[in-house]
Structure 1
Amino acid sequence: MQTIHIVPLSTPRTLTQAAWERLRAADRLFLLSAQHPCARPVLEAGLPHTALDALFDAAEDFDALAAAVAARLLDAGDCTLAVTGAPDALIAALTQAAGGRARLDVLPGVPLGLAAFPERVAARRLCANALPERLDPGEELLLEELDSRLLAGEVKLRLLEYFPDGWEAFVSEMGEDGAFSRRAVPLCELDRQKRYGPTTVAYVPAAPFEKLERYGFDELLSVLRRLRAPGGCPWDREQTHETIKESLLEECYEAMDAIDRGDDVDLAEELGDVLLQVAFHAEIAREQGRFTARDVTTGLVQKLVYRHPHVFGSVRADTSEQVLKNWDALKKVEKKQQSQADVLESVPKNFPALLRSRKVQKRAAAVGFDWDSAGDAFYKIGEEAEELSRAMAGDGSAAEEVGDLLFAVVNVARLLHIEPEFALAAATDKFIDRFRRMEQAALAAGRRLEDMTLAEQDAVWDEVKCGKPVGKS
């Protein structure tokens, strides 16, 4: 089997004896980059080699580079690759590409970050151009190969999502003699340095909780645990699922109100309040040993992946209608719903009645049980109104007939693609506005509503409804 020796060049001052001996003994030596400062020992010793800088120039991204390097090495037989900079990701990619075709012999070496900051052995080392999706401000970081102002700006913006603006970081660069110099810089000035290069390393100390200015979901959970711990907040410690369940609904309505008002600042705050309720319930469940916040997010991610096979699988869905059809079918299987009646019954009974009735009607319509048009459904309103009239005269249950009438109205709204909850809310707002203007008109005429007859109130109401100026007749 082919053997590929991987030799980290580290830095001129930290190149190990074993690495140097392997380089000198190599029959076929590839140098990842002859332009890198850490390649100087190979060049100065005049070791025969093939530089792979052209692959860097041709590759559009890291994956393309790794594939090109792997292809070159696998065609070369037994060989040695001298790697520069922060090679961890490249070594991992080469290992995967080699599979069972070649054995990789990776020699240990001193990472670039530890050559610059040898005392920071506990820090998490990251390549500056490949930061993970999520960072932990409670973890000290070594960012290797900060090689341009543009990259430094991108890294700064990512870090400022977690660390304070003025948080002190340290930047280190390797000199001609292989020694590193370092200087302290505020994190917000990471992209305002004079020089950047392949040996530039940034060290970011961990930030304690009390110094943070921005917070994530984990910090929210930590605060909740502190509030509910012995010595925490008496009110928070007393709460249960039952005592705060109404708050979840209230916060959702307040978020919807912020959306309707187009107030982004208020919406951000209200969504935070909704998230607090989710985290609160998850923390209560964790304390009881029932489930954790991670169980909540795990279930959510699994559901999103499962119900989007057109994104994460091979199913095709070119339109929103196809997506929703697939979603409903997968949901039915997932919920183990044996019949369409099961699907109807799965609509939560705690939903607002108008919303629940619309969802039930929509799910019944999914199997063809529906009116042909809103016009056809409209006649049902008259039929239900007649039945309510008879019930009011003593023939039947008025409450039941009112429910049937409302259900018929929701059917018409659904077929007209009108959300009945929103339509009723708008009608209520309109009533309040007209009532206010009616009251103002009465006061302008020197009258109070409570002193007026219903006929007089109706007359003012009609004026307001017709849009006449307040106080004019």
Structure 2
Amino acid sequence: MDKKKSSITILGLGAGDLDQLPYGIYRKLKEAKNLFLRTREHPVVGQLAAEGVAFASYDDVYEQYDSFAEVYEEIVRQLLAAAEKDGDIVYAVPGHPLVAERTVQLLLEKGDAQGVQIEIMGGQSFLDPLFARLKIDPIEGFALLDGTALKTDEVSPGLHTIIAQVYDAMIASDVKLTLMEVLPDDSPVTAATAVGVAGQERIETVPLYELDRLDHFGNLSLVYVPPAREERIWYRQFSYLKEIVAILRSPEGCPWDREQTHQSIRKNLIEETYEVLETIDDEDPDAMCEELGDLLMQIMLHSQMAAEDGYFTVEDVVAGLNEKLVRRHPHVFGEKHADDAVEALANWQEIKAQEKAAKGIEVANQSQLAGIPRDLPALMYAYKLQKKAAQIGFDWDDVADVYGKIEEEYRELREASERDRAEELGDLLFAVVNLARFLKLDPEEALAMTNKKFKRRFSYIESKLKEAGRSFEETDLQEMDKWWEEAKHREKGGEM
């Protein structure tokens, strides 16, 4: 005959006192021979003790570990061990066993594997009295979150948000800081303790920044955040951005936005990208924030157009990116290892090759120069061509050879006919790009620095003319060259 399974019957102590407890659960608690409580900090427990009900609690476990995750794992370990030893036990938790109760979820996950049957009996959760007390209609939408592990991206400002398990001021402080990532510091929040328990209930609404200054946090405490109505809050939500772009493209939206196509705003994407690069070069974080927003707008517009045509949505864009990032970083999200950037890049290249093969692209039959975007600026395109060719050994042996090639191309340009000058100039520029690669410099960045320097020095000439009350027509090259040299000298002296 098969051995009878051990069992753990899980009861909910409800959200109030003994008078609010269903009779069936009360009887089970009274009759239990082996009764275990997650915590004795509950109105029902004192009343049960007064009636002579014997129990053991796990309050001491909270003092033994640094995290709630470790506490819950240990409670479950001890409960399964007790069930295996005693056969049948009763485990009681605050509220309803299936509402904001991590230990119950762990028992459901682990019980069957250890031969322990898990049975759940209901109990009133804290939600019912809370909805009644704060006059919340849950049909409007609500989120129930864990205060001990709250994350910013879980907070949806358009919902009634209930943050449970705010056991003490330290957790309240963590909750406050997380909410401040989403909401203004002065947003109203409500802290509620022992809702519906006569003589113990405390409910206070305070500005968010004062949340952790309240003195009544405990095992029956939670925080309620009402739905946000202010635009300044919604402006931080990606969903609102998507909605705005859809409105702009709608029949009731902006005539200009409605008329655009992928092709008509193609150049905008390039322009916005270069404006972002300019803020990086200027080391201007405020401008960078604004320009990144403009670049994101281009991505949103292209995604909205594609969605209207039934091709893909912005969620598909995000999903594809997330999947690719996880897939191409097996040393972070998988079982591969990479001790340095070289190994990480090798993993990346190997996975890219696998992706191409999965798409039916025969990498072996591709040109060694394949995969370079054809619309890159010519300087950058040349750099990438040379880099790819160098990977298979098509390269100079020494930088002296590169200098020699530049001199050769320079002579050929000087001697070239008018018809061949463009080609010879291109050859010279190509050789200079090769030198940049040998010197481990980015030619695009180097030229951008020189452009910036030229603009700065030319602006100095303009300022000197303005000081003298003269125009360019009223000066000559010799005078302008003098000011140019003066600008160079000032730069070296750190005055500009």
TM-score relative to the length of structure 1: 0.88
Structure 2 residue 111 is the aligned partner of structure 1 residue 105:
no
Q: Is 1:406 the counterpart of 2:426 in the alignment?
A: no
Distance 1:366 1:359 in 2: 11
Report the equivalent of 2:91.
81
After TM superposition, give the deviation of residue 121 of structure 1 in Å.
6.0
Identify unmatched segments of 5+ residues in structure 1: none
State the secondary structure of the residue aligned to 2:205.
strand
- Does 2:452 correspond to 1:426? no
Query: Can you list the C-alpha shifts for 1:407-447, whole angstroms capped at 9, x where unaligned?
Result: 22112112212111111011122222333444556777897
Aligned residue type for 2:64: A
Identity fraction in percent: 35
**Tell me, what secondary structure is at the counterpart of 1:345?**
coil
Query: Structure 2, unaligned stretches of length 5 or more?
Result: 492-496
CA contact (8 A) 1:164 1:214 kept: no
- Superposition deviation, residue 296 in structure 1: 0.5
SS of 2:436's equivalent? helix
Q: 2:107 aligns with which of 78, 94, 97?
A: 94
1:162 aligns with 2:182: yes
Q: In 2, distance between residues paired with 1:131 and 1:137?
A: 14
Which residue identity does 2:345 align to in structure 1? L
- What is the alpha-carbon distance in structure 2 between the residues aligned to residue 210 and residue 443 of structure 1? 46
Task: State the one-letter code of the partner of 2:170.
Answer: L
What is the alpha-carbon distance in structure 2 between the residues aligned to residue 38 and residue 249 of structure 1?
66
SS in 2 for 1:110: coil
The equivalent residue for 1:15 is 21
Question: Which of 266, 288, 310 does residue 309 from structure 2 map onto?
Answer: 288
Q: Matches of residues 243-392 of structure 1 in structure 2 within 5 Å?
A: 243-336=264-357, 338-339=363-364, 341-342=366-367, 344-390=369-415, 392=416
1:186-225 correspondence to structure 2 within 5 Å: 186-208=207-229, 210=231, 212=233, 214-225=235-246
Residues 1:441 and 1:164: Cα distance change in structure 2 (over 3 Å): closer
Residues 162 and 214 of structure 1 are in contact (CA less than 8 Å); yes or no, is this contact kept in structure 2?
A: no
TM-score, reference length from structure 2: 0.85
Distance 1:180 1:361, change over 3 A: same
For these two proteins, the number of residue pairs brought into alignment is 466
* Paired letter, 2:181: E
Deviation string 1:325-350 (CA, Å, 9 cap, x unpaired) is: 22122223223450485463211111
Question: Higher mean Cα deviation, 444-453 or 128-137?
Answer: 444-453
Kindly indicate whether the alpha-carbon contact (under 8 Å) linking 2:73 and 2:103 is maintained by their aligned counterparts in 1: no
Instruction: Give secondary structure in 1 for the equivalent of 2:319.
Output: helix
> Aligned equivalents of 2:77 and 2:325: distance in 1?
37
1:53-72 superposed matches below 5 A: 53-72=59-78
Report the CA distance between 1:116 and its aligned residue. 3.1
Alignment root-mean-square deviation, CA: 2.9
* Inter-partner Cα distance in structure 2 for 1:201 and 1:380: 74
Question: Which of 393, 396, 402 pairs up with 2:417?
Answer: 393
> What SS does structure 2 have at the residue aligned with 1:91?
helix
- 2:482 maps to 460
Give me the whole-angstrom Cα distance separating, in 2, the residues matched to 1:305 and 1:400. 45
2:458 maps to amino acid: F
2:350 and 2:33 mapped to 1: Cα distance? Answer: 61
Query: What is the DSSP-based 3-state SS (H/G/I as helix, E as strand, rest coil) of the residue aligned with 2:167?
Result: coil
CA gap 1:413/1:16 in 2 versus in 1, 3 angstroms: farther
Q: Which residue in 1 is equivalent to 2:494? A: none
Q: Distance in 2 between matches of 1:53 and 1:169?
A: 29
How far apart, CA to CA, are the structure 2 residues paired with 1:443 and 1:170? 63
Checking the alignment, whether the CA contact within 8 Å between 1:124 and 1:140 is kept in structure 2 is: yes
